[in-house]
Structure 1
């Protein structure tokens, strides 16, 4: 039950990258729709421009007490070029260390902005990769929640791997079982995030930053997770048990969008592509239900042009309609040259769209024509596919994406692997022209989820439909994620009462 006596002012500090910024905006909207709640998003000018239309629409439609407060990104101090205030805007991966340095220099600009906020903030929700928020929370004596941007499966797996260090005594190609998980899950060392492997972070010169992130994580009041309990109930319970942390699953937060206009405004580029978006949806209208393959490998893809061509050739061989989104493809000029030389785009023009720019992904995934989603397994994309009942074809590349593949293929059994076996480093050069997955594997994976004759394909599609129903139910009035937001607000109200009256007993998060 929500507190009617106390007013809450949540300050949200998102990481400057679209995959973290957009879900934090959705969280802001969900919180601001509650009674007696004010929400401030604290971000930089360029990132504010990316989300302003969405915020303005939310205020107009819901009357939410929602605002943006700016702080200056430390470009000159960190050596990040002016105009670059987001990871995806970096002109070169050589500037990665500079970007992490900028993140380490955020305390002063954040603190200056924080002091201006009214009403006085009562809680900070910060991305876990902004450790400066921990010092601000201490100084102003407010509880701080971290937003991890991943799943409880990832949180528990990371905890178990850090505790056991079972991966330290195996080769890169050797499989091992992760101890302490509800399911029997195995990985190869080459599939683990670089943030977990100390030698990788030392080589990149960012091990000190990750150490600060872990320290700040340990000190947090609790964790907000963009997931829902029905998706990974055993992992939520076990993560709470082994860490003793307060955990609130409040997702899928992308379901906070109310209509097509709201979704279209989630664009994080400065492009003017409304007309093209309408054309994509009109093109989808021309195809039968569950017939189109949607392929998007995220905004930070490092897939070699040769590998992208294999994906395209596999799509061609499937003889099914498809959308292939290149976005800011790695080595774009080389990619365009390969496309032209091979003639792929011309050959498939009657049934294939190759899109270079941004697309309204949730609108596309919700279209009845979509039959499968070949994804890099970013958690946002994974949840968007699950929420729309779309079977997934998994092509993980970096970060926790191999963890998410395990959720999809082995825990939920709502998709199949395309065959990627090791990281493609987001910040470095993989072997030029490296191809992990050939066109034959792409075609095979597509058939495994879209075949009308195969019984396992039918079961995958049915399970995908069931989880979509659960996802949408959890965000409804009596759903578990909606309830968890209420429980979060009540917990913080209890915390405030404890500050005013030390005799009040602590609140638990069972």
Structure 2
């Protein structure tokens, strides 16, 4: 099969930031392994992430390096940052025209819907790559499609106004304050919003969509997306996670964090399923009140735990001597980057307190650990709905922004209970884990990936 794809060149364009770049590179890894030639657009900030892959595929992987474009100051920094990428339209066109065998398709992030116009300008196909699940991205799309009407219906901006999505399977609904802040600030006629809305709606004109999910997890939503698109070029190829043979398996962000050896020894000394792993992803930050409540709950609980704390969580919020006296021997604090997949897969780890970012949910499912859901923003409320209400593989412990603080006693009880062997959620997540492993070893995700490679090679 490889000989026919050797000359198939794809351009992969992730949105800047770890949560987007890492899954895109994992997709690139699978495509390179099938004999395609790949160029990845990468910003200077994210450059270290691609190095391990470049050394494994020195001839078939190329990088197209840009510094992050200048972002105009804006009340909506995320939207402004995403819109700033459009400044690369002409430089990408110029690069394309200089290539002896330019890419036949652009595989670009969900946030980069404007690349649909770029692709049609260049006469190539655009494939959307979603680093969110099929449910999360369907809700996001419906939200931006309907936002003018939603804003009219909720003219007085009632925080608890229910927004429902009746045409999406299981008819999800959310209070207004669960929606991404960017959409809540939408004003008809505002230039940035209108541009962002246009770029998101352009995703539906993509030639195809690749999802980092799998049929056993989100089959009903994948079918829904196919109906929305009016064709079957929708592929679920996940979970896209590095296995032990992957060049992407090394530390993803350099040397800070705990010495892996110390952490490994500490985990090895703990009984099976006796540790809760606590981590809120690369962007979510706990407020001081939330941190106090969490620390209070850890003191009250009986569990062992590994707590991954970012610099932005200011480790100063963790009381001095917390590790030594209050939770002696029970707690291991990692400042900075933690080898998350390795921790989750360790037999001592039985549950995972998570902000419900999509990558984290996939990692928890792949490892078969029950999840305690604390969604804070973005697609996390949608992911928690899928995980808790629809799949029954986790429990909610808290939800919302910095001002919403869990009760320390209740959180301690949920932490303790999460390691209880016969919990229904633990049984369910083990089943999903087997489904995930099967999907990427010899099942639906491999089938979809092969089909994608076949179709894109025929373009």
> Following the alignment from structure 1 to structure 2, what is the Cα–Cα distance between the partners of residues 72 and 111?
16
2:313 pairs with 1:313: no
Question: Paired residue for 1:441?
Answer: 410
CA shift for structure 1 position 353: 1.4
2:166 pairs with 1:179: yes
Question: Paired residue for 2:224?
Answer: 238
Question: Paired residue for 2:355?
Answer: 376
CA shift for structure 1 position 176: 5.5
> Following the alignment from structure 1 to structure 2, what is the Cα–Cα distance between the partners of residues 412 and 25?
28
CA shift for structure 1 position 450: 1.8
Q: Secondary structure at the match of 2:49?
A: helix
Provide the TM-score with structure 1 as the length reference.
Answer: 0.81
Unaligned runs of 5+ in 2: none
> Following the alignment from structure 1 to structure 2, what is the Cα–Cα distance between the partners of residues 310 and 112?
53
CA shift for structure 1 position 18: 0.4
Question: Paired residue for 1:84?
Answer: none
Q: Secondary structure at the match of 1:15?
A: coil
Q: Secondary structure at the match of 1:236?
A: helix
CA pair 97-253 structure 1, distance change in 2 beyond 3 A? closer
1:125-140 matches, within 5 Å, as 125-140=107-122
Partner residue of 1:121 out of 103, 115, 118: 103
2:134 pairs with 1:147: no
Q: Is the 8 A contact 2:368 2:433 kept in 1?
A: yes
> Following the alignment from structure 1 to structure 2, what is the Cα–Cα distance between the partners of residues 344 and 327?
16
Q: Is the 8 A contact 2:285 2:312 kept in 1?
A: yes
2:449 pairs with 1:480: no
CA shift for structure 1 position 202: 8.5
Q: Secondary structure at the match of 1:42?
A: strand
CA pair 329-363 structure 1, distance change in 2 beyond 3 A? same
> Following the alignment from structure 1 to structure 2, what is the Cα–Cα distance between the partners of residues 345 and 99?
42
CA pair 202-289 structure 1, distance change in 2 beyond 3 A? farther
Question: Paired residue for 1:59?
Answer: 57
Unaligned runs of 5+ in 1: 81-91, 425-429, 497-510
CA pair 19-241 structure 1, distance change in 2 beyond 3 A? same
Question: Paired residue for 1:28?
Answer: 28
Q: Secondary structure at the match of 1:372?
A: strand
CA pair 354-467 structure 1, distance change in 2 beyond 3 A? same
Q: Is the 8 A contact 1:296 1:375 kept in 2?
A: yes
Comparing 235-244 with 411-420, which one deviates more in the overlay? 235-244
Q: Is the 8 A contact 2:323 2:333 kept in 1?
A: no
Question: Paired residue for 2:276?
Answer: 293
CA pair 184-342 structure 1, distance change in 2 beyond 3 A? farther
Provide the TM-score with structure 2 as the length reference.
Answer: 0.89
> Following the alignment from structure 1 to structure 2, what is the Cα–Cα distance between the partners of residues 442 and 293?
12
> Following the alignment from structure 2 to structure 1, what is the Cα–Cα distance between the partners of residues 330 and 57?
40
CA shift for structure 1 position 103: 2.0
Q: Is the 8 A contact 1:172 1:190 kept in 2?
A: yes
Question: Paired residue for 1:350?
Answer: 329
Task: Please list the CA deviations of residues 285-319 of structure 1 after superposition, one character each: whole Å capped at 9, or x if unmatched.
Answer: 11011110000001111320220121122122121
Q: Secondary structure at the match of 2:293?
A: helix
Q: Is the 8 A contact 2:83 2:196 kept in 1?
A: no
Task: Please list the CA deviations of residues 199-236 of structure 1 after superposition, one character each: whole Å capped at 9, or x if unmatched.
Answer: 38999x84144223224313311111000011111111
CA shift for structure 1 position 460: 1.2
Q: Secondary structure at the match of 2:350?
A: strand
Q: How many residues align?
A: 453
1:188-203 matches, within 5 Å, as 188-197=175-184, 199=186
> Following the alignment from structure 2 to structure 1, what is the Cα–Cα distance between the partners of residues 17 and 293?
28
CA shift for structure 1 position 342: 8.6
Q: Is the 8 A contact 1:8 1:122 kept in 2?
A: yes
Q: Is the 8 A contact 1:145 1:220 kept in 2?
A: yes
